[in-house]
Amino acid sequence: MSEENNQYTFENEQYRKTYWHTCSHVMAQAVKRLWPEVKLAIGPSIDEGWYYDMDAPFAFTPEHLEQIEAEMRKICKEKLKLERFELPRADALKFMEEKAEPFKVELINDLPEDAAISFYKQGEFTDLCAGPHLDSTGRIKGNAMKLTACNAAYWRGDSNRETLQRIYGIAFPKKDELDAYLQRIEEAKKRDHRRLGKELGLFMLRDEGPGFPFFLPKGMTLKNTLLDYWRQVHKKYGYVEISTPIMLNRQLWERSGHWDHYKNNMYTTVIDDVDFAVKPMNCPGGMLVYASEPHSYRDLPLRVGEIGLVHRHELSGALHGLFRVRCFSQDDAHVFMTREQMQDVIQETVRLFDEVYSIFGLTYTIELSTMPEDHIGTVEEWERNQDILKAAITGMGKEFVINEGDGAFYGPKLDFHLADSLGRTWQCGTIQLDSQLPERFELEYTGEDGQKHRPVMIHRVVLGSIERFIGVITEHFAGAFPAWLAPVQVKVLPVTDRAEEYAKEAAAKLDELGFRCEVDGRNEKIGKKIREATLEKVPYMLVVGDRDMENGTVSPRHRSGEDLGAMSLDQFAALLGEEVKTRAIK
RNA sequence: GCUGAUGUGGCUCAAUGGCAGAGCAUCUCACUCGUAAUGAGAAGGUUGUGGGUUCGAUUCCCACCAUCAGCUCCA
C-alpha cells in the first residue's frame, strides 16, 4: 500500500535477511547468557526484522527485553566470528541433546535423511542453522537495533503443542533509519481504523456484543454509498440480486455439508423442536433459489448476487475491530455456468475485481488455496478445478502464490489480499470454485441437446466483508475518504450568525442536488469551525460571511487547506459534482 | 481458544491502602468574529463485573467479561 515503507539502505533483500538472521542468533546468544535455562526453538528473519521462539520458565517483560538488548550490544562489540560446520546426524543429535535443547533435537530428527546438518558458531554459542550469516557479530550496529515485542506462538504453529514466547526484533545499518522506522510505525497506528472509526463516528463495538459491530449514522452512510456503487458495477457485469433468509433448518445445512464441516463456527438454536442455524455463508440459500425453477443453457452463466448478513462464531482472541468480526455482510454472488464457461467467467470476475479495487487505488496479492484435509469431492475433481483457476489467472498475466491445503471444504479458491496501514494483509476478495454444491443440491440446466446437465458454480466476493473493506479503506485513506464516499461531503460554515440563514439556504440547495451537507451554526469563531471540520476530514468547507452574502458567493476550502476563493454556489456544485461523478481521489 | 498486557466521566489521560483529578467534548452566559482552538462559569465518575483480604479497596488477591499484541483460524 505505501511504497515508501520499504526503503532500506540495505543493499538488497538477501543481505537484509542475512543481517536480520544473524541478529536473531545474537539475540538467542544474549538470552542464553542471561538465562541458560531457556530452551531455543526457531529464529528466522521475516519481512521486517526477525523473531526467535523460546521456551522460558518465566514470562518475558519489557524490562527483560532491555536487558537482552544490552547484552546483544555487548556481543556486537565482541566482534565474534561466525563459523559454519556440519555434523553427521548422530553427532548432531548428541550435540543438541547434551545442550538440553529438545526443540533442536526434534528439528534434527525431522530433517530428511540425506540433508546436511549445519551449525553456526559464534563465541560460546552454537545454533542449528542452514544459514547464511554475516561473518562477524561486529557487522551489526548495536544502537540501530530494537526488540519490538514479545508474544506467544505455538511450537510449529500447532495449537495442540507447547506455547512458546516469541521475541521480535528489528535492526538497521544506521540509527536514524531505526528511528525513521519506529516513527513510521507510530504514524501508521494513527490510521488504525478502530481509532478513526471512533473519531469519525463510523462504528462502535460494545462488550454486550463482542465482534458484532454497530454502524453509526456516518458509517451507515459510507456503507450505503459503497453498496450503491457495488450495485451499479454488478448491474454492468450482468448480475441480478437476491436476498435469502438469515436462518435455515438443520436439514439444509446437512445437505450443504456445513453441518458436518463448519458446525463449530455456526450459531444454532432450536425452534419447535427443530434445529436451526444462522447462516455462516449465503450459498445454500442461493442453491435453493437456483433449484426453484428450471434453467436453460441459454441462461448461463447466471450471475446472482446477494449482500448477505452472515454470522460466524470466531475465537474470541481472533476478533479485531472491523477486520475480524463475528457478524458481517458479504457482497456475495454465485455464478452458475457450464464447464466450458469456467475460465471465461473467472477472468471476467477478476476484471470486475480490478475495476473495483482501482477505484479505491488499492493493490492486492493473489493466493491460490488448494485442497484441505477436511474436504468433500474427489482428488481428481479438486486437481481439475485447481488447474482451471491457475490457467485463468496466468492467462491474464497475473502472479499468485500457492497456499497449500487452505481451500474451502467444497473447493479451491483464489484469495485477493489487501494490506492495512501496518502492512498486515487481509483477505477481501475471493473466487471459490465449487462443483460439490451443485451435486448435493442436484442443480440442473437443460442443454442444447435437450438433456439435463449439472452446472458448476463459483462463489465470489469482491469487497469480501463490507465491514472489513470499510476498515481497509478507512486506513488506506487515513479517514479522508474521496468526496464520493465521504459521509459528509460539504460543511457550510457561517462566519457570524448574520450568515446563518444564507448558509442554511446553500446547504438546502446542495442537499437538493444530492450532496451530503451539514451546517455548523455554532456560535464559534470561523477558525475553530475550520479546524474541526478539517479534523472530521470533510472534503469541502464552505465559508460564508457578509462578503459572500453581498456578492452571492460561497468561499470553498478543501480539507487539504487549499482555499478555492469565492465562487457561485452553482460553480462549486459543478466542481464537486464532477469530483463525485469521476470518483476522484484527492 | 492459547500466552502476555490492559480496563478510571462521552473522548484522551493523571493519581492514591484513607474525601478520585486535568484537558477536550456537553450545558449556561458574554463576545458577532473571514480560513486550524475567544473568555468565564456549571454539570458529569459507587474507577469493567462479581467475590475475597482489610477498620477502610479504585489501589492488594481470586474468578469472570471485554479490549490490545501475537499465535491458531478466517471474509
Q: What is the grid cell recorded at A58?
A: 518465566
Dist. CA A281–CA A465, nearest whole Å: 12
pLDDT at residue number A3:
36
**Distance set, CA A68 to CA A63, A77, A125, A567 (Å):** 9, 14, 15, 63
Scanning A111-199, the segments in alpha helix (DSSP H) are 175-190, 193-199
C-alpha dihedral over A204, A208, A210, A211, to 10 degrees?
-50
User: Burial of A581 by CB count in 10 Å (0-12 exposed, 13-18 middle, 19+ buried)?
Assistant: exposed
What gap in Å lies between CA A423 and CA A47, rounded to an integer?
10
Integer CA distances (angstroms), A114 to A90, A108, A111, A126, A248, in order: 13, 12, 8, 22, 55
Which nucleotide's C1' sits nearest to the alpha carbon of A315?
Answer: B1
Q: What is the nearest nucleotide to A464, using C1' and CA?
A: B75
> Would you give the DSSP letter of residue A533?
H
R_g (Cα) of chain A, nearest Å: 29
Q: β-pairing, A302-311 with A240-241? A: parallel
Instruction: Choose, from A127, A192, A331, A332, the residue flagged as catalytic.
Output: A332
In this complex, which residue's CA is closest to the C1' atom of nucleotide B48? A207
Q: Compute CA distances A337 → A208, A287, A290, whole Å.
A: 43, 13, 12
| Cβ–Cβ < 8 Å for A181, A206 | no
Distance, CA of A539 to CA of A491 (rounded, Å): 8
Catalytic pick among A133, A146, A324, A413: A413
Report the pLDDT value the prediction gives residue A436, as an integer from 0 to 100: 86
What is the per-residue pLDDT for A271?
A: 92
Q: Which three cell numbers stand for residue A296?
A: 436453460
Cell of residue A100, nine digits? 538440553
Neighbours of A331 (CB within 10 A): 24
Query: What pLDDT sits at residue A296?
Result: 97
Our measurement of CA A404 to C1' B70, in angstroms, reads 23
pLDDT score for A222: 97
Positions of chain A with pLDDT lower than 70, given as ranges: 1-9, 11, 421
Contacts of A139 (CB under 8 A, 6+ apart): A19, A22
- This complex has an ipTM of 0.93
The H or E element that residue A65 is part of is helix A62-77
Q: Which of A42, A206, A187 is nearest to A108 (CA)?
A: A42
Q: What per-residue confidence (pLDDT) applies to A12?
A: 81
Task: Report if CB A431 to strand B is under 7 Å.
Answer: no
pLDDT at A188: 84
Q: Residue A2: its pLDDT value, please?
A: 37
Question: What per-residue confidence (pLDDT) applies to A4?
Answer: 40
- The CA–C1' separation of A444 and B45, in angstroms, is 65
Among the listed residues A369, A373, A372, the one whose alpha carbon sits nearest the alpha carbon of residue A433: A369
**Greatest C-alpha distance within chain A:** 94
Give the H or E element holding residue A127: strand A125-128
Residues, chain A, total?
Answer: 586
* pTM, to two decimals: 0.92
Residue pair A518/A529 in contact (Cβ under 8 Å)? The answer is no
The Cα A121–Cα A125 span in angstroms is: 6
Query: Which amino acid does the sequence have at A99?
Result: K
